[in-house]
Amino acid sequence: MHIAITGNIGAGKTTLARKLSEHYKWDVLYEAVEGNPYLADFYEDMSRWSFNLQVFFLNSRFSQAQKIRSMHYQTVVQDRTIYEDAFIFAKNLADTGMMEARDYQNYLMLYETITNTIQAPDVIVYLKADLPKLRRQIQKRGRDFEQSITDEYLLNLNGLYENFAQHYIDGPLLTIDVNNLDFESNPEDFGFIIQEMNKTLGYR
């Protein structure tokens, strides 16, 4: 199976992907953050680097999708989905004027060409987190380039995530409200997520 974790910056996707892979003995594919040649520049000047960054992430996600397809007999948990690139991050940049309309249309044509060749995840897990939770997590992990992210930017993304979750029709989507959960440190909180995962996956 292909299990994908989705959610805003700081929602806990990477941590959950790691813990699920350890619990279920699944393979895991992480988002290309470390070593990303555009990310730090993007947070300094979003308008200048938005298209470059989104194309980099789109290519990275497509490469992961191809790898997942080649792993026929293994279950893989993926940190973030290709859908978020187009319908949340790139859309937000276009909506707020930080990506030119012609660049966004060019991006969408490339996105559609790519997604026509790949399959949707078997299950998407959406980690729902409000602004205070996101802020605490961003501060906790201490990436310098993320400290300049504005509240408005995060709130815009949250709105687009909610819209995406409500209208997603390509497979099961499990929503987990993580505002009051500490699944990294609290075994009971992680156990709750495992219970929800088992119900969604049909495990007993």
pLDDT digits (tens, 9 = 90+) for 73-105: 789 999 989 999 899 999 999 999 999 999 999
* Structure-model confidence comparison of residues 40 and 90, the more confident one: 90
pLDDT digits (tens, 9 = 90+) for 140-181: 887 887 888 899 999 999 999 999 999 999 999 999 999 999
Q: Global pTM?
A: 0.91
127 close to 7: Cβ distance less than 8 angstroms: yes
Which residues lie below 8 Å from residue 201, measured CB to CB, with a gap of 6+?
Answer: 1, 123
Say yes or no to pLDDT of 33 above 80.
no
Q: Which pLDDT value is given to residue 66?
A: 87
User: Can you give 172-186 as a three-state secondary structure string?
Assistant: CEEEEECCCCCCCCC
Q: Tell me the C-alpha distance between 164 and 87, whole Å.
A: 7
Decide: residue 4, CB within 10 A, 0-12 exposed, 13-18 middle, 19+ buried: buried
SS3 33: coil
Which residues lie below 8 Å from residue 187, measured CB to CB, with a gap of 6+?
Answer: none
Q: Tell me the C-alpha distance between 172 and 158, whole Å.
A: 20
Q: Which pLDDT value is given to residue 204?
A: 67
Q: Tell me the C-alpha distance between 57 and 66, whole Å.
A: 14
Average pLDDT of the chain is: 92
Average pLDDT over residues 34-57: 90
Q: Which pLDDT value is given to residue 152?
A: 94
Going along the chain from its start, the domains and CATH numbers come out as 2-201 (3.40.50.300)
Report the percentage of the chain scoring pLDDT > 70. Answer: 99
Q: Which residues are catalytic?
A: 79
Q: How far is CA 145 from the centre of its chain?
A: 18
Average pLDDT over residues 112-124: 93
Say yes or no to pLDDT of 184 above 90.
yes
